[in-house]
Structure 1
Amino acid sequence: MVYETVFRSGDVPAADRFDYWRELMIQTVAPMDMSSDHADDFRASMRVLELGAVHVWPTGFQSVRFHRTPKLIRQSDPELLHMTFVSRGTVGVVQAGREATPGPGDLCVVDFSRPFDSHAGPVKGVGVEVPKEMLALAGKGVNELLGRRISGREGFGALLAQFLTRITSDTGSFQPSDGPRLETIVLDLVSALLAHELAADNTFTPEARRRTLTLRIHSFIQQHLADPQLTPRAIAAAHHISLSHLHRLFREENTTTIAAWIRHQRLQRSRRDLADPALCHNTIHQIATRWGFTRAADFTRAFRTHYGMPPRDYRHQALGTQAETHC
């Protein structure tokens, strides 16, 4: 579902504005030490769009300093990856021993599980919070992009920037039930951008290149989940590596086999669609087929094993009387 929270500093007494905004930032992202030279009369605006577990928030504010310390990480680590698209002003970020100063048209990545310092503002842009476990990437690989400026004017960076700009400037054209679909698009675009940036950097070590290949494989799987011919052998062939090399790469980054991971991703997408009111006219078999399950009995058995109930019962539980009334 799409839920929206709006903050405008003009709606709050001047003395309370910075504290109110700081609390909203902490709730949206994670605990941080924040300070501003304009705290006595802070000017900011912010809208938080909740697309399932992904948060997208267009914002503009006066200069602020952010610090995410080891102590704060020990207190609360939501395992979030943050990406900022800057449309006006600059953002200075120091993390992982590198420093970046993205300006208008640029993006940058911050890992909230690691300490960082940032100075931003006056700035206008769009922030994105993504749980790292949901990204189609190897977690270690993204470390290579921390403290780097990423262009949002070409390639996947431009696609992501344009999509974020569109959905945050035209929220009225989306239905509440569009949240899961918008969440999937954001996840796919962020994953594709990270994979591209890692693959394009020729300065990386062999270890980083190995992680980049793993990232590309994860992204490839996500993009081809609907294909029933998506097998380990087909994945290995698409990336010009042997089947044994594929299994070895996957074992190093995951706690399950590649076939089990594909099945898990397909089941997650199927479960999401079964609970989507906009898809209630689709049969369970149509939804299963959409995500690569060609045999109804195989899908039902896998779904029951994974979620503890057959897909028909889950759908009835998720939609309730809504299914009986509108489907």
Structure 2
Amino acid sequence: MPGVEVSVITMHGGGAWETFVNTHFYNLEVTSAAREFAVCARFATLTQGVRFSEVRSSAWAFESTAHQISNAPDDGLMLILQLAGEARLRGGDTYVDLRPGHAVFCDPLTPHAGHSHGPQHQIVAMVPREALTSYGDDASFVWQPVGMDSMAMRVLCTMITDVLRSGPVAAAPGDGAGLAGATVELMRSVAMNAVLGRGSVCQAARAVARRDVENYVLSRLGDPALTPARIASHTGASRRHLANLFQHDAGLAAFMRAERLRRARADLENPDLAALSTAAIAAKWGFTRPSTFSRAFRQQYGLSPRQVRRAG
């Protein structure tokens, strides 16, 4: 499959398994393993730094220390889905018990350890860290148990197992990138559900959609041609959908205006920009008419731009 490399491996002994994990995921040390330790794993590497695996193994224990992390830091976040067997993980000072139907996000940059209580069947997926934290620096979902009953989690689990078990198939160009993108978006939804403490995939999807629109808008606030219609055209969303995403801000246009005014006020209060005229600052943030800027500024803050500049 273009962009997808699937490998099936069977190995015996904790040393061989340690080498495999260190090569394809991150550095750890197998501290103990069943006398006749065996593992069968299906492993796929996609584009965009996405990889996942389905693992069936005997009981084993591992540890990833600060020294190992510093020698080979990994920029990914990992999701473990427990399909069978029981295990206990420790991330920092947090302990998580994994049973069938449970999952957990793990941070390989945190010293951690774990052990299983018998044969295991897990799905492990890893994506770049920024893919799951780009809606903010909030990674509070890490080392917290996550249920596997949400639609996003079920679709993710089904997609991964289908890819790993499909064998050689004809695929269109770009399938690898498409699967990688789908994996990232599904894991975003699962992470967002954990952050929000809600089970609604719809709410998580709305938050992700709003974040994407915000990123687009905030990077173009200085463009006076930036309008809700143009944003709708770029994102492929209807103007009604955009209005719903920003309903708590009185709509997308109101959100844009408030963000432009906030940045303009910061410039007016900045003594390093004292030589820059009020009209120039207004134009910098997308206001083509100084009178429109002054009127909107006074309406927002109850002061004129000149009063704010004098006070600064």
What TM-score does the superposition give when structure 1 sets the normalisation length? 0.60
Q: Distance in 2 between matches of 1:247 and 1:6?
A: 51
Match of 1:189 in 2: 186
Q: Counterparts of 1:244 and 1:221 in 2: how far apart (Å)? A: 9
Shift, 1:37, TM fit: 3.3
Q: How does 1:276-295 map to 2 (within 5 A)?
A: none
Task: Provide the C-alpha distance between the structure 1 equivalents of 2:112 and 2:73, rounded to a whole number of angstroms.
Answer: 13
Cα 1:164–1:139 change in 2 (3 A) is farther
Q: Structure 1 residues 81 and 196, CA, compared in 2 at 3 Å: closer, same or farther?
A: same
The 5-angstrom pairing of residues 126-137 of structure 1 reads: 126-135=123-132, 137=134
Match among 211, 221, 230 for residue 218 of structure 1 = 211
Query: Any residues of structure 2 matched to 1:142-157 within 5 Å, and which?
Result: 142=139, 144-157=140-153
Distance (Å, rounded) in 2 between the aligned partners of 1:168 and 1:214:
30
Contact 1:236 1:243 in 2 (8 A): no
Q: 2:67 aligns with which of 35, 55, 71?
A: 71
Alpha-carbon distance in structure 1 between the residues aligned to 2:20 and 2:129 = 21
Match of 2:95 among 99, 120, 123: 99
Q: Distance in 1 between matches of 2:109 and 2:10?
A: 29
Segments of structure 1 that go 5 or more residues without pairing to the other structure are: 203-212, 252-327
CA offsets, 1:59-78, max 9 Å, x none? 11112222121111211112
Contact preservation (8 Å) 2:32, 2:62: no
Deviations 1:241-294 (A, max 9, x none): 35269859xx9xxxxxxxxxxxxxxxxxxxxxxxxxxxxxxxxxxxxxxxxxxx
Match of 1:59, SS?
Answer: strand
TM-score, normalised with respect to structure 2 = 0.63
Superposition deviation, residue 100 in structure 1: 1.4
The residue number in structure 2 matching 1:8 is 10
- 1:228 is the counterpart of 2:233: yes
Tell me, yes or no, if the aligned pair for 1:67 and 1:117 is still in contact at 8 Å. Answer: yes
Counterpart amino acid of residue 218 in structure 1: R
Partner in structure 2 of residue 238 of structure 1: 245
- Select the residue among 50, 54, 60 that pairs with 2:45: 50
Identity of aligned residues (%): 16
Contact 1:43 1:61 in 2 (8 A): yes
**How far, CA to CA, are the matches of 1:57 and 1:123 in structure 2?**
13
The CA RMSD measured in Å over matched residues stands at 3.4
Measured in 2, the distance between the counterparts of 1:37 and 1:153 equals 31
Take 2:172 and 2:120, find their aligned partners in 1: how far apart are those partners? Answer: 29
Task: Quote the offset at 1:126 in angstroms.
Answer: 1.0
- Equivalent position SS for 1:134: helix
Could you tell me how far 1:5 is from its partner in structure 2? 2.5
Task: Tell me if 1:124 matches 2:92.
Answer: no
Query: Which structure has greater helix proportion?
Result: 1
**For structure 2, which runs of at least 5 residues remain unmatched after alignment?**
200-205, 216-230, 264-312
User: What is the CA-CA distance between 1:184 and the residue it aligns to?
Assistant: 0.8
Post-superposition CA distance 1:74-121 (Å, at most 9, x none): 111121101011111123122243221121122110011212122235
CA separation of 1:199 and 1:26: change in aligned 2, threshold 3 A: same
- Report the equivalent of 1:163: 159
| In 2: Cα distance, 1:238 partner to 1:95 partner | 35
* Counterpart contact for 2:88–2:115, Cα < 8 Å: yes
Alignment partner, residue 138 of structure 2: 141
Task: State the alpha-carbon separation in 2 of the partners of residues 132 and 215 from structure 1.
Answer: 16
Amino acid at match of 1:47: R
Contact 2:69 2:109 in 1 (8 A): yes
Deviation, structure 1 residue 191:
0.6
User: Residue 90 and residue 246 in structure 1: after superposition, are their counterparts in 2 closer, same or farther (change >3 A)?
Assistant: farther
Residue 273 of structure 2 corresponds to none
1:98–1:41 CA distance, 2 compared to 1 (3 A) = same
Q: Which amino acid aligns with 2:69?
A: I
Cα separation, 1, equivalents of 2:38 and 2:257: 54
Task: Classify 1:151/1:8 alpha carbon distance in 2 versus 1 (closer, same or farther; 3 Å).
Answer: same
d(CA) in 2 for partners of 1:215 and 1:140?
14
Please give the per-residue CA displacement for 1:118-150, whole angstroms capped at 9, x wherever unaligned. 2235211111111112346346322x1222211
Per the alignment, in what secondary structure is the counterpart of residue 112 of structure 1? coil
SS at match of 2:79: strand
Q: Is the 8 A contact 2:14 2:30 kept in 1?
A: no
Partner of 1:19: 15
Deviates more, 1:101-110 or 1:233-242: 233-242
